[in-house]
Structure 1
Amino acid sequence: MIRWLTWLLVALLAALLAGCEDEAPPAPSQGFAGLGAKAGNFVQASPGTRLRFPEDHGPHPDYRLEWWYLTANLEDTAGEPLGVQWTLFRQAQQPPAERPEAPAPWAADQLWMAHIAVSRGDTHRVAERFARGGSRDSDPERDQAGVTAAPFRAWLDDWTMASRVGESDRDALSRLEVVATAEHEGAHFGYRLSLDAEGPLVRHGENGFSQKSADGQGSIYVSQPFYRVSGEVTLAGESRRVTGSAWLDREWSSQLLGPDQAGWDWFSLHLADGHRLMAFRLRGGGEDGGDYFSGSWITPEGETTPLDDDSLALEPLASSAVAGRTLPTRWRLRLPDQGLDLTVEAPHADRWMATTVSYWEGAVEVTDHASGAPLGRGYLEMTGY
C-alpha cells in the first residue's frame, strides 16, 4: 500500500552523514511524517502515468520517495505460524535537474533505509540499516545499497531481493530470492526464501495511480500478491523450513499524502478462496475532513476492482496496549458488493517496529464476522499512533 519514508528521518540522516551531529534536524513541514509536503520540482505521481516493465521495477530518481516492501505469512513443518518482512526505502536528496554539476566527494543523490522482521508467537525481532548511494558517477553494483531493473536486484549490504528469472519473456518479479540476517542478543535471526508468483502483477487505483486524499495526492502503486513461498527462517539461532504466501508492494511518489492526514491503517489479505484484498484507511484527507478509504478487490486470475468508501467499510472493534500506545488490533471489514463481512484480528498484538521511525506491522487472521469461520490471513500496518 502506502509504504513510506519520513522527511524527519531523512533530515536526521543527512545531518549525520554530513558530519553535523550537533545540528538539530528540522521538523517535518506538513502532514504525517512530512509526507504532505509539496513536491517541489520532483515529478508528482498522477493519473495517466504509463507503466513500463521491467524498467519500473527499478528506481525512479525523478520522484522523491520509493519502496520495495515484502510481507509473508509462513508456517513451519509442524504448522506453527511465522511472519517475515523485508523492506527497502529510497529517498532522493534533490531533483535530478537541481543536482550540482560538481558534487562534493561524499555527496550522494539517494539515501536508503532497510527494515527486516521475523515473528513467531510472542517473539518479534526487528533490525534496521541505512546507506548512502546512487551518485551520478557511481557503479550501482558497487554501491552499498541500490536497485537495478535488469537483472532485477534490490539490496542494502547483504540484505537482498533478487530475480531468479532466466527467461526474457517472464516478469522479473515472478521468481525471487530474498535473503536477510541480523543478530539479537548474540543469536541470529533472518531468512532465505524462494518466491514464485502464481498470478500477474496488480495495478491499484486508476491503472496504477492510487489516490490517497480527496485533494488528489497519491502514488504509483503496483503489487505482486500471488507469491508461493518456500525456504528457511532462523529465529533465536534455530532454523526451520517454512512454506506460505507473500505480498510485494512497489510504490513511488513525491507528495504521497495531504497535509492533514495523521496516519494510516493498511491491510493485505490472502483469502482461502484465492481472492486477494488490499484496503486502507487514511486518517484525514477525506471529503469534509473525514477519513479517506481505498482498496482493491483482486480475483484469483488477477482481475482488479477498485474500492472506495461506498464499497469498503473499515471499523476498529478492539484495541491493545502496545509500546505505550493504544492501537486497534481487531477490525471489522465489509465489502457489500462482494457480500463479505469480515473480522480481521492480530493474534499477537506486540508487533511494534521499534525502528528510527516506529510503526506497527504484523500478521492478522481473517474470519467471517457472524460465524467466526476462518477465511484467510494477511498483514496489517498502522502508522501515526
Structure 2
Amino acid sequence: MKIRVGLMLLALLGGCDNASPPDKGFAGLGTEAVAFTPVVPGRVFSFPADHGAHEGFRIEWWYVTANLKDAEGRDFGVQWTLFRSALDAAPQASGWRNQTIWLGHAAVTSATVHHAAERYARGGVGQAGVRTTPFDAWIDDWRFGTQAVGPDPLADMQLKARGPHFSYDLRLTSTRPLVLQGDQGFSQKSEQGQASYYYSQPFFQAAGALEIDGRRYQVSGPAWLDREWSSQPLTENQTGWDWFSLHLENGDHVMLYRMRHKDGEPYLTGTWIDARGQARTLDARAISLTPLDTAEVAGRSMPVRWSIKIPARQLDVTTRALNPDAWMNLRIPYWEGPVQLSGSHGGNGYLEMTGY
C-alpha cells in the first residue's frame, strides 16, 4: 500500500501555517478528521478520473518504486512520490489562497550509496499538481506523466527526478490491469475501521537512464505504482508500519503491511497478485512476517532482514536489504529501499519502515 509515508505529511501541515498537530498516532495521523470525506466500503472506482486528485480527502499520494539492473548486473532502486495534503476540507481556492500542500520525495539506492531529496510546494500556483487529461503528476521538474496514445494513461509513462547527487529518467510501460487492494479498493488499516482507498499497478516494466555521483547507467527492471487517499488512516495507538512490495520471479506479486501498535499485536494484512492480475486478500492468519537481523542506521536499530511465509501459497522467503543504510534523511526521516529475495522464490521488491 504503502500506507505511504505520505501520510507523514500531515505532521508538516501545521508548520506551514504556524501550528503543530497533536501527537496522536504516528506523525499525528490518528487525529480526528471529521470535516473531511470519510473512507467507507463500496466505493466504485472510475478510471482515468481516480488517477487524479480527490478534494475533500485529507491526504493522498502517487508512489512509484523500481528495482533495476544495468548491463553488468548491478542492482539499483528508485523511488518517486508525490503527496497531496489539505489544510482544510473546503473546496480549494486558486492562487495563494489555496490550502493544499504538495510534497515530493525521490531517492536512488545502490549496494553502496543511497541519496534522497525532497521538494515542497503550495497548491494553486502551478508549482505542483495532478491533472487527468492527459495524466500528469509533477512538482517543479519532477514528473510522472503519460506518454500513452490509447485510453489507458498508465500504459506508457515517463518518470523523472533529480537531486544534488542523482537523477533518473525512466519509461514505464504495462499491458496488465490495475489491482484494487483490500476489499475492492477499500483497504482497512486497523480493527477500529481506519482505512484508505487503495489501488496498485505492480506490472510496470521500467527502462532508462540513472545517474549517481556523476556516473551514468542504463537500467531496466520491474516497477510498482501505489495510489492511496484517505482522511484518517491510523489510530492513536499505531506507531508506524512495515510495508513490502515484492516481485516474484514466477510473475506473481505480493503486497504486505504490518501496522505496529504501542500496545498489542500489529495489524497485519496483504494481497497476493498472480501473473494474470487476479488479486486475493491475505489476512493475518495467512501471513508470517518476522524480523530476523537488525542494523544500526542513523542511530536506530532497523530490521533489514526479514522472514516472510505464506504457507497456502508455498512462499517461504528471506528478504535482505540491498543497502542497509537506505535512510531517507529528510525533514521527516524513515527507511526505504530495495530488497532481494531468497528461499522458495527468487525476486526483489521494496521495503518501507516508519516510526522507528
Maintained 8 Å contact 1:331/1:343: yes
User: Counterpart in 2 of 1:213?
Assistant: 190
Task: Say whether residues 1:174 and 2:189 are aligned partners.
Answer: no
Q: What TM-score do you get using the length of structure 1 for normalisation?
A: 0.89
Which residue is 1:383 aligned to?
354
The one-character-per-residue Cα deviations of 1:238-259 (angstroms, maximum 9, x if unpaired) are: 2111111100100000001111
| Contact preservation (8 Å) 2:109, 2:323 | no
Letter in 2 for 1:346: A
Q: 1:146 maps to what in 2?
A: 129
Letter in 1 for 2:74: E
Q: Distance in 2 between matches of 1:113 and 1:330?
A: 29
CA separation in 2, counterparts of 1:14 and 1:223? 33
- Tell me which residue corresponds to 1:5: 7
Tell me the percent identity: 46
| 1:268 counterpart residue number | 245
Residue 29 of structure 1 deviates from its aligned partner by: 3.9
SS in 2 for 1:344: strand
Alpha-carbon separation, structure 2, partners of 1:173 and 1:311: 32
Which of 178, 186, 197 is the equivalent residue of 1:201? 178
Residue-pair matches, total: 353
Letter in 2 for 1:262: T
Q: Determine the structure 1 residue equivalent to 2:225.
A: 248
Cα distance in 1 between the residues matched to 2:95 and 2:287: 51
Match of 1:278 among 245, 255, 268: 255
Partner of 2:164, secondary structure, is strand
Deviations 1:43-87 (A, max 9, x none): 111111111110000000110000000110001111111111111
Conserved? CA contact 1:199–1:300, under 8 Å: no
Name the SS for the 1:310 alignment partner.
Answer: helix
Q: For 1:281-300, what aligned pairs fall within 5 Å after superposition? A: 281-284=258-261, 289-300=264-275
Q: Is 1:117 matched with 2:107?
A: yes
What are the ranges of 5 or more consecutive residues in structure 1 without an aligned counterpart? Answer: 16-24, 135-141
Structure 2 Cα separation of the partners of residues 219 and 8 of structure 1: 18
1:130 to 120, 143, 154: 120
Residues 298-329 of structure 1 deviation map (CA, whole Å, 9 limit, x = unaligned) = 00000000011111111111111000000111
Q: Which amino acid aligns with 2:139?
A: L
Per the normalisation by structure 2, the TM-score is 0.96
Check conservation: 1:198, 1:228, Cα contact below 8 A. Answer: no
- Displacement of 1:211: 0.2
Tell me the equivalent position of 1:107. Answer: 97
2:299: which partner in 1? Answer: 324
Give me the whole-angstrom Cα distance separating, in 1, the residues matched to 2:173 and 2:82: 20
The equivalent position to 1:61 in structure 2, one of 51, 55, 58, is: 55
Conservation of the 8 A alpha-carbon contact between 2:110 and 2:322: no
Q: Secondary structure at the match of 2:192?
A: coil
Q: Among residues 26, 38, 43, which one is paired with 1:44 in the alignment? A: 38
Q: Which aligned pairs between 1:324-363 and structure 2 lie closer than 5 A? A: 324-363=299-338
Give 3-state SS (helix, strand or coil) of 1:33's partner: helix
Find 2:67's aligned residue among 69, 73, 77.
73
Residue number in structure 2 paired with 1:139: none
- Paired with 2:54 and 2:227, the residues of 1 have a C-alpha distance of 11
Cα deviation code 1:177-204 (max 9, x no counterpart): 01112213xxxx1100000114210000
Unaligned regions of 5+ residues in structure 2, if any? none
